[in-house]
Structure 1
Amino acid sequence: MSSQQPPLGISFEFFPPGTEVGREKLLQVRDALASRQPRFFSVTYGAGGSTQARTRQAVRAVGESGITTAPHLSCIGSEKAQLRELLAEYREEGHDSLVALRGDMPSGMASIGELRYANELVEFIREETGDHFDIAVAAYPESHPQASNLDRDVENFVRKMHAGADMAITQYFFTAEAYFHFVDKARALGVEKPIIPGIMPIVNYTKLARFSDACGAEIPRWIRKQLESYGDDADAIAEFGTEVVTRLCQELLDGGAPGLHFYTLNQSVPVLKIVDQLRA
């Protein structure tokens, strides 16, 4: 993702909107965040049917910003021929960065596909395209929810990196020690490439709790209790969330993190508050 990095190495993730209103909002959010000179944008992936079509539309729309855009590519539920076609399309459109993921089985699909794990997907991309793409993979500082333990999960992560990945982006977390511990374990197993922490702004406690339960991200008890005390006071939640996440980001950067990747949920204001506080 570009070698000309701004002083604060930030990047932003979007998801493909499903409505015309959502598509218009995405363009506004894209432009607002592009003004902060991110290293790259990423766009999440739909594995089949209309969801995949929305992904392709979103990748084109985000890429029109002129910012390097990294489409997500998932192997679960996808055949090699389909992936090969997508890779060719992305190359033709000028994309040179990808986020390679195992993904989840799409609802209603019976076949797991020809590739089962993200390391196999990374190997396939390299076999098909050589060094054309910069490839990012996922990392889970608090362990993947399906992993038996952290050591096994780090071993799986190392396989992805050694398969040809250039960098990693973590699942979001709220405890810096979890990130640094994970990085230390990966470094001990020979991983030298950047491991960028994923950052989730705190905007809506109910949604955050649901996301976190689903993906295995731990919300520390003191944060949960404080957020619960605000009830439906959206302004108080936003103010507290900005304070907590900005402090986390600063701790990560001070500790040597190579950048920050924000999960925007297609909103600009919460992310910009954090980024601008950090730059101030």
Structure 2
Amino acid sequence: MTKDQVLDQPLFGGLPGDIAVSFEFFPPKSEAMAAQLWETVVTLAPLAPKFVSVTYGAGGTTRERTHATVARLVKETDLVPAAHLTCVAASKAEIDEIADQYWDAGVRHIVALRGDPPPSDGGRFAPHPEGYRNAAELVEGLKKRHDFEISVAAYPEGHPDAVSLEADLDNLKRKLDAGATRAISQFFFSTDAWFRFQDKALAAGITAPILPGIMPVTNFAAIRRMSGNTEIPAWMEAMFEGLDERPGPRGLVSAVMAADLCRRLYAGGVRDFHFYTLNRADLSYATCHLLGLRPVTGKTA
């Protein structure tokens, strides 16, 4: 289907559903949150994601909960879990031990990140004196330890700590050259920003897959806080004005907006999408449905 054919279709009716998806979860803090997460897993599993990732808190604060969540996914589902692992506040020996535990638990996919420092460090990253200095070193260390499949982070509008987009692309290339399989991008809301980034990545010699990170808006005020270097367009501000107090209408607007972003990416050749679910199934499921994806018969959590 050509770009013009995709964009000329009424809403999303002509999309053939030939996309691949993955979903990100975070480890629950309570029994109620664990129940909500598992309900989300059960709802999204029939969409047959390529993998599902579980995040890792700043400074390793969710280490045990992340491991427990990933271990449960391995034991109780057919999903392919990817465990996040960071360089923050851990020595190489500690990270080796964590990597061994994941390998022994049957985990074969790691999302390797430099990681965010805990708030007590003033937001500035400082390597552990006996640890990995950056994500590229972490990737190299993990690959030497076990033959993990490794995903890394990409930033279409640049990492907040990067001195330039070009320097950020150089860092991405180092991570991939160190042995990573793919990159997963930070969320964004501008297709122009994505395609500019994609072109620059190709020009920099980056040929590994880069999955666009899609964040359906569950709370617009929270999106503002999390945006970092991500531009929030004026039209988006207008679209969500007054909706944080109206979750029903906000959800409808959010799903259609996320699907339209994906539709435009699809028209540009993108077929793989990574959804930041925030442990809620409804918006990600609705977006995938609008893109033509349907449950796979017999595929359950």
Q: Answer whether TM exceeds 0.5 for this pair.
A: yes
For the residue of structure 2 that corresponds to 1:147, the secondary structure is: coil
Map of 1:256 onto structure 2 = 269
Displacement after TM superposition at 1:229 (Å): 4.2
Change (3 A) 1:231 1:75: closer
Q: Distance in 2 between matches of 1:230 and 1:176?
A: 23
Mean Cα deviation higher: 172-181 or 227-236? 227-236
Cα distance, 1:265 vs. partner? 0.2
Of 55, 73, 76 in structure 2, the residue corresponding to residue 62 of structure 1 is 73
Contact persistence 1:12–1:264 (CA under 8 A): yes
Spell out the pairing of 1:1-280 with structure 2 (5 A cutoff): 7-46=18-57, 51-63=62-74, 64-108=76-120, 112-113=127-128, 114-129=131-146, 132-212=147-227, 215-230=228-243, 232-279=245-292
Q: How many residues align?
A: 271
Q: Per-residue CA shift, 1:67-125, capped at 9, x if unaligned?
A: 11000010121111111111111111111111000001234579731212111111111
The alpha-carbon deviation at position 55 of structure 1 amounts to: 1.0
What is the one-letter code of the residue matched to 1:69? P
- Identical aligned residues as a percent: 39
Residues 44-87 of structure 1 deviation map (CA, whole Å, 9 limit, x = unaligned): 01366762111111112233321110000101211111111111
Q: Is the 8 A contact 2:139 2:150 kept in 1?
A: yes
Alpha-carbon distance between aligned partners in 2 of 1:175 and 1:190, rounded to the nearest angstrom? 23
- Looking at structure 1, the residues matched to 164 and 85 of structure 2 have their Cα atoms a distance apart, in angstroms, of 26
For each residue in 1:3-61, what CA deviation from the matched residue of structure 2 results, as whole angstroms up to 9, or x when unmatched? xxx94210000000100111111111111110111000000013667621111111122
Q: Which runs of 5+ in 2 are unaligned?
A: 1-16, 294-301
**Partners in 1 of 2:138 and 2:167 — Cα distance?**
19
Q: Structure 1 pair 238/185, CA: closer, same or farther in 2 (3 Å)?
A: same
What TM-score do you get using the length of structure 1 for normalisation? 0.91
Mapped to 1, the partners of 2:48 and 2:145 lie a distance apart of: 31
In structure 2, distance between residues paired with 1:174 and 1:81: 39
Amino acid at match of 1:255: G
Structure 1 stretch displaced more, 221-230 or 193-202: 221-230
Cα shift at 1:221? 0.9
Per-residue deviation, 1:230: 3.6
Secondary structure, counterpart of 2:174 in structure 1:
helix
> Which residue does 2:6 correspond to in 1?
none
Counterpart CA distance in 1 for 2:57 and 2:245 is: 32
Distance in 1 (CA, whole Å) between partners of 2:263 and 2:126 is: 43
